[in-house]
Amino acid sequence: MGSDRSRLGFYLLLAPILLWLIVLIILPHVGLFLVSISEKIGPREYETGFDNYAAFFSEPLYWRTFARTAIMSIMATALTLILGFPIAYYIAKLTRGRTKTTLFLMCMIPFWVSELVRTFGWMILLRETGVISNTLQYLGLVNGPIELLYNDAAIMVGLVYTSILFMVVPLVTTLDSLDDSLIEAGYDLGGTSTSIMREIVIPHAMPGIVSGCIVVFMLSLGNYLTPILLGGKDSLWFTGMIYTQFITRFNWELGSAFGFLLLGLSSLVVFLGLKFSGQSLSETMGRS
Amino acid sequence: MPFFFLRGCNLTNSHPDLECRDLTKNFDAFRAVDQVSFDVPQGSFFSILGPSGCGKTTLLRMIAGFQSPTSGDLRIKGKSMIGVPPNKRPVSMVFQHLALFPTMNIGDNVGFGLRQRGVGKAEIRARVEQVLDRVGLPHVAERRVDQLSGGQKQRVAIARCMVLEPDVLLLDEPLGALDLKLREHMKIELKSLQHAFNTTFVYITHDQSEALVMSDNIAVMNKGRFEQIGSPHEIYHHPDTAFVAGFVGDANKIDAKVTEVNGAMLTLATEMGSEMKVEAAGAGLSVGQPAQVFLRPEAIALGASDAAAESAANISHGTVETVFFNGANSTVTVKDGAGHLVKVAMPQTGDFATLRKGDAISTRWLPKQARCYAVSGDV
């Protein structure tokens, strides 16, 4: 009786997540997959096959954009880590109480504004008639207006800015759990700041680093607004390409195939990242 | 020439391993350590005993180099350590919660300090194995930290420090987290490890039994100051101050007023009217002054007098209030005629084992067995 009731409770509690998984993730993907393996041979005539995937590999623009997106996302992740780690270390280890909360909040505040507005903020700063260009001209460092928008560096800035919070939060959490006496013990045993960072702090923070990197990489890879707005026409991003297939070209079949390739790519990169860092996904997600 | 040589040797040997001179540490307006001076000779076990918040941790952290003194000097083997960072000092510290690195295995933990010094890999492995062997844990180098028991971790933490052959090993209440049985065992073990390594140990604790069992010398610390430095025997039997008498060991504290001074022999009376005689040379008490008398439970004998030294003894008659049975440490509380409660240790011979609440009993103690101090208002 009691066990029946607890079993019912278990399924009731499980229901929302199952619904979420099935309705929002599994069903659309099954649908997309079916679309991606159908080839259009005439009006309203379809055949099953992998022509859409073949099209991707035969057209250099497609797979080059694909590779470019992957490489730039990895670079954005690395940059975010390099910038985020000192911030997280400062918040977690070098501040106490009120200052800590304030700093943490200050990292959070930009995210109260929509991503679109934040990206426009960057456009105001970087465009030809923007703040930075005008300041440089006013100071006499440059002669004419300079365009800082619409290049890869602008995309990189935007990507790092958008995702740095998702790196700082898991890092602060893991670094917070590092006992100060471990760092002191390191110094006491003759360690230098560098060796303590390398042998004690970073190994301890590894789960946070990995989970932060996974999140940031996924966000960058799947980002649409930032590369389109800051990168302009010349800077292609794979999500933009998927959008074009679905909305502009109305080629859902190819778009779906692209979608699946992107899923495969992100899984592959995360898998390789975990392999190289010697972490397991369950450990990373469980600990941080 | 040989003469000079010899002298030179003597000079370096004459320095104690650790010397502190008027060491003071202020935190804003609060003075955590107040003009502390002491020497620790080579190869001795020195304990700093005090209640929590007395400044002993601050003192230890200053020796380790994690905090810098406000004033005063600190010398290790004759060399001043002021301004020397912790990673350059010839001291190692065993932390309260040991601070073993959980991301490394035991061998890497112990070898950490040697790696920092740039010792070769093969030599590190050999020395790590050797030191683990000395602390009685051979072949654990490959294990993870969480695979060891509390006592084993303790020994690994000591091995991690000792592999560096420090001049002074600092220990910050490392036994605090262990259960009672293991703590008793580790006390003996720490002492024998110290003996085996022949290294100077500076141990801080709030547990008097740890300090008494292990130390060659104990400093009792209170409110940032050293109350007394001495051997465990001196600290226990000849406490200099009322604080030491009350803090170390068990004692009956009796408030009284001096009614008569006769050389070293004082006669005191409590508010409730009972009189006692105490031998207290040098207490500097005069008639009418309030005083505190400390009397150890084991200094009091139970039962009828046995003729000898009768006239000198303080004898009172009372009734048994409570019996606390605790094996060999059983005590009994006796209420005397004037209503004072006195704690008395049960003789271990088994006499008086049948005492029950309400039994009539007499107590007696010799004047030289109590300690008497002027009231300082401190304790």
- In sequence order, the 6+-apart residues with CB closer than 8 A to the CB of B88 are A190, B65
8-state DSSP, A113? S
Interface test with B, best of A180, A181, A184, A189 (most B CBs within 10 A): A189
CATH code assigned at B226: 3.40.50.300
Give pLDDT tens digits for A117-145.
888 888 888 888 888 888 988 898 888 88
* Residue B4 in domain: no
Ordered by start, the domain boundaries in chain A are 66-287
CB within 8 Å: B93 and A186? no
Give pLDDT tens digits for B210-247.
899 899 999 999 999 999 999 999 999 889 888 999 89
pLDDT at B186: 87
pLDDT at A205: 92
Same domain, B165 and B287: no
> What type of residue sits at position A266?
S
Quickly state the pLDDT bin for B378 (edges 50, 70, 90): very low
Reduced to 3 states (helix: H, G, I; strand: E, B; else coil), residue A271 is helix
Same domain, B162 and B289: no
Q: Is the pLDDT of residue B351 over 80?
A: no
* Residue B353 in domain: yes
What is the mean pLDDT of the segment spanning B183-208?
90
What is the mean pLDDT of the segment spanning B149-174?
91
In this predicted structure, which of A147-161, A207-221, B148-162, B278-292 has the lowest mean pLDDT?
B278-292
Which residue, B244, B264, B292, sits at the end of a domain? B244
Q: Is the pLDDT of residue B304 over 70?
A: no
* Residue B2 in domain: no
Q: Is the pLDDT of residue B3 over 70?
A: no
Phi then psi dihedrals of residue A150, to 5 deg: 60, 45
pLDDT at B23: 92
Q: Is the pLDDT of residue B306 over 80?
A: no
Instruction: Extract the tokens encoding A150.
Output: 């619409």
- Report chain A residues whose CB lies below 8 A from the CB of B115: 195, 199
- Report chain B residues whose CB lies below 8 A from the CB of A192: 87, 116
Give pLDDT tens digits for A227-246.
988 888 777 888 888 898 88
Domain that holds residue B124: 9-244
Instruction: Extract the tokens encoding B228.
Output: 């007394």
Same domain, B260 and B215: no
In this predicted structure, which of A271-285, B144-158, B341-355 has the lowest mean pLDDT?
A271-285
Whether chain B has a CB inside 8 Å of the CB on A189: the answer is yes
Nearest CA-CA distance, residue A184 and chain B, Å: 8
CB within 8 Å: B116 and A203? no
Nearest CA-CA distance, residue B114 and chain A, Å: 8
pLDDT at B310: 60
Which residue, B244, B267, B287, sits at the end of a domain? B244
Please provide the average confidence, as pLDDT, over all residues in chain B.
Answer: 86
Quickly state the pLDDT bin for B2 (edges 50, 70, 90): very low
CB within 8 Å: A189 and B101? no
CB within 8 Å: A181 and B99? yes
Same domain, B258 and B188: no
Same domain, B197 and B131: yes
We find that the CATH architecture of domain A66-287 is Orthogonal Bundle (1.10)
Q: Which residues of chain A have pLDDT under 70?
A: 1-3, 282-288
pTM of the entire predicted model? 0.80
Cβ neighbour number for residue A37 with a 10 Å cutoff:
19
B contact set with A (CB within 8 A): 64-66, 85-88, 91-93, 95-97, 99, 101-104, 112-113, 115-117, 160-161, 164
Same domain, B190 and B211: yes
Same domain, B194 and B284: no
Which residue, B191, B214, B244, sits at the end of a domain? B244
Instruction: Count the domains in chain B.
Output: 2
- Report chain B residues whose CB lies below 8 A from the CB of A189: 87, 92, 112-113, 116, 160-161, 164
Reduced to 3 states (helix: H, G, I; strand: E, B; else coil), residue A48 is strand
CATH code assigned at B353: 2.40.50.100
Same domain, B227 and B331: no
What is the mean pLDDT of the segment spanning B175-200?
87
